[in-house]
A and B are shown apart, each in its own frame.
Chain A
Amino acid sequence: MILDPQQVFSEAGACIRCGACMEVCPLYQLTGQETTVARGKLSLLQALNRHELPPSQRLQEILEFCLLCGACTEKCTARVSTPELVKSGRAAMRQRRGRSWSPALVLTALSLQAERVLPNLSAAGPLVKRLKSWVGGNSGLLWRLWPALTGLVGRLPSLAPRPFSRSAPHLLPGRGRRKIAFFVGCGLEALFPQAGLAFLQLCQRLAIEVIIPPRQGCCGLLAHSAGEVETARELARRFLKQFETLPVDCIVTACASCSYHLKNLARLFPSGREGESAFRLAAKIREASEYLVETETINNLNFLPGFRSQSLVFHDPCHLRRGQRIVEPPRRLLAAAPGVEVLEPESVVTCCGQGGIFGICHPETAGLIGREAVTTYCGMGATALVTACSGCLAQLTGLAPPELRVRHFLEILAESL
């Protein structure tokens, strides 16, 4: 997080307005408007910093209309990190405008309580289901009155009957040199515990010792994306306190968004002790596929010979492909599983549309982008759509037809053991 206005100004000023970002921005493709694309947002951020623009409602809308997918940065020859600058802009807007009610804000406030709320959430599963059917999708009366709320409720993925922390041990003993800690993250805790359990299964086979600290919280990405810097800092402090002193080689997480955020925690603390320890700890953070490939442990998995063949397509999470430049590892792992063929779409699908808080604030647009992604994948004849991020899992699960199962890649690997 760059909070120093001067720094934001100089980074945004590196944009030469060539317009190459227009080619790749999913929101520009949809709207054709400059306010949606990096070149426009960077111009506005510069004006805001120079106090030529007030922190208006319209500016807030524009800054919130960004997937933070980073496609622009990948295309940009000046490598301007627009997603990070947009987050700074959102934070500056919060400071100067104060808070206003939004679904994102509610979730951000909840994220502070994640470690208490999530393990108990499964009890609310049936209630959520009823709420969803009562609110009734896009056609109901409530939708017309309050689309943001109904959009949010309608898109809530089904809660797992048993959260991860109720199914997993606090320590998985190993038989070798390798010792890791596992950071679960909200998505895997409440929605996709099977992915976390699959990872533990793989570790067990590989004889890796895994510490799973109890009462883990949220990584803070959601709060950071919403511009709630203080909340993000508080969550970061808790993470540091809990994981800093663990005697492990690596801290592994199976969610691309969590690993991206945790690797960049130091951004939240421009100076001071916390910044230093965040920086030190960042070197230990690994995304699951990154860890398995890097340690070459995957060669020891001894998969069973395949008795059925399946063709999968891997959806690249933004926070994995562009955020961490991890492209090959999950594909290599999947290809190593017997009977698995990994298909590639003609051109890379940029983003599933979930985009941090975007799916919450702009359910309709997020749905459009997500459906287009799903249509691409459906046309490929794959039996399952596989990914590595709880945000993508939530979005794609909600949109994919029944014949295209959406899974975490670790589940596929664990099934082949």
Chain B
Amino acid sequence: MINPQVLQKVQDVVGAPHLLTSQEDRLCYAYDAANLLHVPEAVAFPGSTEEVASLLRLANEYRFPVVPRGAGTGTTGGAVAVQGGLVVVTTRLNRILEIDTDNFLAVVEPGVITGHLKAAAAKEGLYYPPDPSSASFCTIGGNVAENAGGSAAVKYGVTRDYVLGLKVVLPTGQIIDTGVKTAKGVVGYDLTRLLVGSEGTLGIITRIILRLVTQPAARQTLLAGFSDISRATQTVGRILKARLGPCALEFLDRASLECVRDLLPFDIPPQTQALLLLEVDGHPHDVRDRVESMDSFCRGQEAAFVLAAASAPEAEKLWQARKLLSPASFKLKPHKLSEDVVVPISLIPDLVASIEILSRELDLPIMCFGHAGDGNIHVNVMYDQQQDRERQAAGQAVEKIFTVVRELGGTLSGEHGVGLTKSPYIGMELSEAAIALSLRLKKAFDPNNIMNPGKIFSPPAPPPSP
């Protein structure tokens, strides 16, 4: 509980217009894209690193939870105030401070919309590759805190691979700078890497130094359709093995295809069981050559058709359909448990085949789609919460999927993070000793457990109902 005197101190820090306390306002910060509801006690919009530091000092002194929030588009409940307290929103810290064309760097505040950063870099002929589906409305701070990925990861890697340094306010109110502004740097422990993906449990990021690369001169998008799903999943690994170097390699199964069929710019033959969405970028000549090789390679793998986007808007339409897939999945059933597991690329066919069997066993639609090129498959268990049978079956499905993934040597989450929804399962991947060490680290950063408490590490409990 934040008592009124403390709340007054919070208001003194950020100013009255930047503190929301009414029930109506707080309800609008009770959720993120995981669609769980926990109403915070207040919502603050700090305007500087110093204000963030003052807020955390207050929280540490008066022991109230602080939940950092960007745009609230995370899918595991990371920005939800599960233990109440103060939600700290970064939307006012939204300046792109620098695009350094000499050193290929960007310095940004955490509230910058990822898409705005990409556009600002593109204006200078530079490229910030990570591309989560929500890039046009999520914040870069949230991306760093969750270590977001996206479709470009197969060639370019994930957010972590672009973060050189951070300015972070620790839960005790101290401000630290981690990392470097240079291409290399090995002084001390790599705190930057520890903080990237720490889901707001170790501090609040207030400034980010990002590495940029050269904007590729050309890109081309291809869509390949397969009448046999296992041919499609096998082709993923073979394309990579053939060194065809796609910058995106996405897989859509039959159910996913049906959800976005009307958004696609092409007519897809009815017997199509799976799609691969491929993209190549680079020098125009090189792109042309590789598109040709990729086309004939897919046909050699028994693709029923291979279509190339005729124009940039058509390619944009294909990507738009892919990005809308997650929200469009609700056409199948009103609720879903969404997992973003990763397995070694060569084992994707095994994963998809196991999930097909599981879907039949449990008599529930389970969609598989996603960034197959890096082994990251979004497995969406679709169900209706009103139906007892479906709700129970969905709960079983998640544990079974995770078991399969672990047997295949994979990980429970590639890019969404643990948050609230996956925290009951982390013991399936992390050893007791690793969890204990993590908790000691957490304690070293946050002795009073004020930063985003209840996330990642929570006592074993039955899976929360979504």
Residue pair B28, A40 in contact (C-beta under 8 Å): yes
Q: Nearest chain B CB to A362's CB is how many angstroms away? A: 16
Q: Nearest chain A CB to B35's CB is how many angstroms away? A: 5
Residue pair B327, A20 in contact (C-beta under 8 Å): yes
Of the stretches B18-26, B122-130, B233-241, B426-434, the one at the interface is B18-26
> Is there a chain B Cβ closer than 8 Å to A17's Cβ?
yes
Q: Nearest chain A CB to B465's CB is how many angstroms away? A: 15
Residue pair B330, A53 in contact (C-beta under 8 Å): no
Residue pair A77, B31 in contact (C-beta under 8 Å): no
A40 and B25 CA atoms in complex are apart in Å by 9
Within 8 A of A (CB), among B196-227: none
Known contacts A17-B35, A40-B28, A22 near B71 by CB under 8 Å = yes
Hey, which chain A residues are within 8 Å of B31, CB to CB? 17, 39, 43
Within 8 A of A (CB), among B78-116: 89, 91-92, 94, 111, 115
Known contacts A17-B32, A17-B33, A19-B134, A44 near B330 by CB under 8 Å = no
Which of these, B27, B35, B91, B138, contacts A53 with CB under 8 Å?
A: B27
Q: Nearest chain A CB to B398's CB is how many angstroms away? A: 18
Residue pair B73, A43 in contact (C-beta under 8 Å): no
Interface size class of B (residues with CB under 8 A): 20 to 34
Q: Nearest chain A CB to B37's CB is how many angstroms away? A: 8
Q: Which residues of A contact B (CB under 8 A)?
A: 14, 16-20, 22-23, 32-35, 39-40, 43-44, 47, 53, 56, 58-59, 62, 76-78
A23 and B137 CA atoms in complex are apart in Å by 5
Residue pair A53, B137 in contact (C-beta under 8 Å): no
Hey, which chain A residues are within 8 Å of B29, CB to CB? 34
Hey, which chain A residues are within 8 Å of B27, CB to CB? 40, 43-44, 47, 53
Residue pair B22, A58 in contact (C-beta under 8 Å): yes
Hey, which chain A residues are within 8 Å of B91, CB to CB? 32-33
A363 and B72 CA atoms in complex are apart in Å by 30
Known contacts A32-B91, A34-B72, A58-B22, A18 near B28 by CB under 8 Å = no
Hey, which chain B residues are within 8 Å of A43, CB to CB? 27-28, 30-31, 37
Additional A-B contact list (7), CB under 8 Å, known A33-B20, A43-B30: A19-B134, A20-B137, A22-B71, A23-B137, A32-B94, A43-B37, A53-B24
Residue pair A78, B28 in contact (C-beta under 8 Å): no
A321 and B25 CA atoms in complex are apart in Å by 31
Q: Nearest chain B CB to A284's CB is how many angstroms away? A: 29
Q: Nearest chain A CB to B120's CB is how many angstroms away? A: 16
Main secondary structure of the interface of B (DSSP, over half): loop
Which of these, A20, A56, A77, contacts B24 with CB under 8 Å?
A: A56
Hey, which chain B residues are within 8 Å of A40, CB to CB? 27-28
A360 and B115 CA atoms in complex are apart in Å by 33
Q: Nearest chain A CB to B318's CB is how many angstroms away? A: 16
| Closest A-B pairs by Cβ, 10 of them | A40-B28, A34-B28, A77-B327, A32-B91, A23-B137, A22-B137, A19-B73, A58-B24, A77-B328, A18-B327
> Is there a chain A Cβ closer than 8 Å to B324's Cβ?
yes
Residue pair B137, A44 in contact (C-beta under 8 Å): no
Residue pair A32, B28 in contact (C-beta under 8 Å): no
A59 and B111 CA atoms in complex are apart in Å by 27
> Is there a chain A Cβ closer than 8 Å to B423's Cβ?
no
Residue pair B33, A18 in contact (C-beta under 8 Å): yes
Known contacts A17-B32, A22-B137, A34-B29, A78 near B327 by CB under 8 Å = yes
Q: Nearest chain A CB to B88's CB is how many angstroms away? A: 14
A407 and B312 CA atoms in complex are apart in Å by 34
Q: Which residues of B contact A (CB under 8 A)?
A: 20, 22-25, 27-33, 35, 37, 45, 71-73, 89, 91-92, 94, 111, 115, 134, 136-138, 324, 326-328, 330
Residue pair B33, A19 in contact (C-beta under 8 Å): yes
Hey, which chain A residues are within 8 Å of B328, CB to CB? 77
Which residue of chain B has the shortest Cβ distance to A48 in the bound complex? B24
Q: What are 27 of the A-B contact pairs (CB < 8 Å)?
A: A16-B327, A17-B32, A18-B134, A18-B327, A19-B71, A19-B134, A19-B137, A20-B134, A20-B327, A23-B115, A23-B136, A32-B45, A32-B89, A32-B91, A32-B92, A33-B20, A33-B28, A34-B28, A35-B24, A43-B31, A43-B37, A53-B24, A58-B23, A58-B25, A62-B24, A77-B328, A78-B327
Hey, which chain A residues are within 8 Å of B137, CB to CB? 19-20, 22-23
Q: Nearest chain B CB to A298's CB is how many angstroms away? A: 27
Residue pair B35, A16 in contact (C-beta under 8 Å): yes
Hey, which chain A residues are within 8 Å of B73, CB to CB? 18-19
Which residue of chain B has the shortest Cβ distance to A36 in the bound complex? B28
Q: Nearest chain B CB to A365's CB is how many angstroms away? A: 15
Hey, which chain B residues are within 8 Å of A17, CB to CB? 31-33, 35, 72
A131 and B115 CA atoms in complex are apart in Å by 47
Known contacts A16-B330, A17-B35, A18-B326, A59 near B134 by CB under 8 Å = no
A33 and B28 CA atoms in complex are apart in Å by 9
A78 and B33 CA atoms in complex are apart in Å by 14
Q: Nearest chain A CB to B61's CB is how many angstroms away? A: 28
Residue pair B324, A44 in contact (C-beta under 8 Å): no
Hey, which chain B residues are within 8 Å of A39, CB to CB? 28, 31
Hey, which chain B residues are within 8 Å of A33, CB to CB? 20, 25, 28, 91
Which residue of chain A has the shortest Cβ distance to B89 in the bound complex? A32
Which residue of chain B has the shortest Cβ distance to A31 in the bound complex? B91
Residue pair B72, A19 in contact (C-beta under 8 Å): yes
A78 and B24 CA atoms in complex are apart in Å by 24
Q: Nearest chain A CB to B303's CB is how many angstroms away? A: 28
Hey, which chain A residues are within 8 Å of B72, CB to CB? 17, 19, 34
Hey, which chain A residues are within 8 Å of B22, CB to CB? 56, 58
Hey, which chain B residues are within 8 Å of A56, CB to CB? 22-24
Hey, which chain A residues are within 8 Å of B20, CB to CB? 33
The residue among B27, B37, B111 with the most chain A CB atoms within 10 A of its own CB is B27
Hey, which chain A residues are within 8 Å of B138, CB to CB? 19
Known contacts A19-B137, A77-B324, A78-B327, A59 near B24 by CB under 8 Å = yes
Residue pair A53, B28 in contact (C-beta under 8 Å): no
Hey, which chain B residues are within 8 Å of A34, CB to CB? 28-29, 72
Hey, which chain A residues are within 8 Å of B45, CB to CB? 32
A44 and B27 CA atoms in complex are apart in Å by 7
Q: Nearest chain B CB to A110's CB is how many angstroms away? A: 31
Q: Nearest chain B CB to A59's CB is how many angstroms away? A: 5
Residue pair B330, A77 in contact (C-beta under 8 Å): yes
Which residue of chain A has the shortest Cβ distance to B138 in the bound complex? A19
Hey, which chain A residues are within 8 Å of B327, CB to CB? 16, 18, 20, 76-78
A34 and B29 CA atoms in complex are apart in Å by 7
Residue pair A78, B330 in contact (C-beta under 8 Å): yes
Hey, which chain B residues are within 8 Å of A47, CB to CB? 27
Hey, which chain A residues are within 8 Å of B37, CB to CB? 43
Q: Nearest chain A CB to B368's CB is how many angstroms away? A: 19
A375 and B156 CA atoms in complex are apart in Å by 38
Hey, which chain B residues are within 8 Å of A16, CB to CB? 33, 35, 327, 330
